Structure 1
Amino acid sequence: MGQGTEELSTEIAQTRNSLASDLDALHDRISPSAIVERRKSAAKGRMRQVRQRVMGTVHDARNTTASGVSSMGESAHGAVGTAQEKYEGAPLAAGLVAFGAGMVLASLIPASEREAVAGAKVVDAVKEQGQPLLEEAKGQAQQVAQQVGDAATNAAQQVKDAAASGAEHVRSEGRSAAESVRDEARGEQAP
């Protein structure tokens, strides 16, 4: 009967250990912190997969670059088609889509009362601080316009004077040339 008791004690100890490990596993499975941790890991994995689909991986980028370089000799249409087939992600496009989605979501969420009050204060402060700058800018713009107008008037007068002087010079040269031709023509007819 001694061996039976030892065997029973060993069997009970093994059953106790097995139940303890099963209880530990069950506790880990139903523990709220363990559930949260598993869900976080699963969400991270899904986000990693989405990011790899959208952005591509280093391996995909290397293959895309190599295929793009090798197909440079082909027609542009063929190169574009190859690049579109091989490259999974476009980081810039993904960023623009995310920015646009954020803007849409931000426009759907109404502003809180505090945000509205703060926004009104900011607008008032900008108007108050910006008014002197706006007036100064208007004054500067008017001054520049006046200077440009004066310079344009002066330039136009100089062009007019130069044209009149040039016309007078051409007239006098023309008269001189005409007289010279007349004198030569009279000189040839005299003999």
Structure 2
Amino acid sequence: MSTDTDQIRRDIERTREDLRTDVDALTDRVSPSRVVGRRVDRMRGAARSVREKIMGTVQHPVEASSGPASALAERASAAAGSVGDAAGAAQQKVLSQTQGSPLAAGLIAFGTGVLISALIPASEPEQRIAGQLKDTLSEHAEDIKGKATEVAGEVKEHLREPVQQAVESVKASAGDAASTVRAETGTTPQSGGAL
């Protein structure tokens, strides 16, 4: 009898462990961050293959940084994935026409980015940050303007002497060249005229 109960307990423990493993795998599979991560990876792979097809292979890929900017980029990439699925057929047509033309590909990518950013409404945190940035810039606009004017004045002062020297050098070179031409042609300068 004790052997049967021990066997049943082991079966129950094994079943519990199997269920725990299955639940963990299911949780990992449906976790929003994991779903977004998979979509981002899929979009990066598609972008990488498009970039390699147009511009050749990449020798030094850049890894994405971590932090709020990366999270925002991941959300944007996820949203872009939805829009990108609809634009897939058009993209293939454009790719066939622009293959080997990095400038055209860059312009198309820029236009696509502008289009996608125009379609995605700004989130509340983005709007709040944009408002704070606008307020900060308006508060410091006079300081920035004053510093820019000050720097421009300093640059002007620092360049004044070299510019004057360059002008004098050009005048001297032009005078020497005119003298050389007169000497070689045997002419004299006309009165009242300058070269």
TM class, shorter-length: 0.3 to 0.5
TM-score between both structures, scaled by the size of structure 1 = 0.42
Q: Decide which structure has greater helix share.
A: 1
Q: Kindly indicate whether structure 1 or structure 2 has the higher relative contact order, using CA contacts under 8 Å at least 6 residues apart.
A: 2
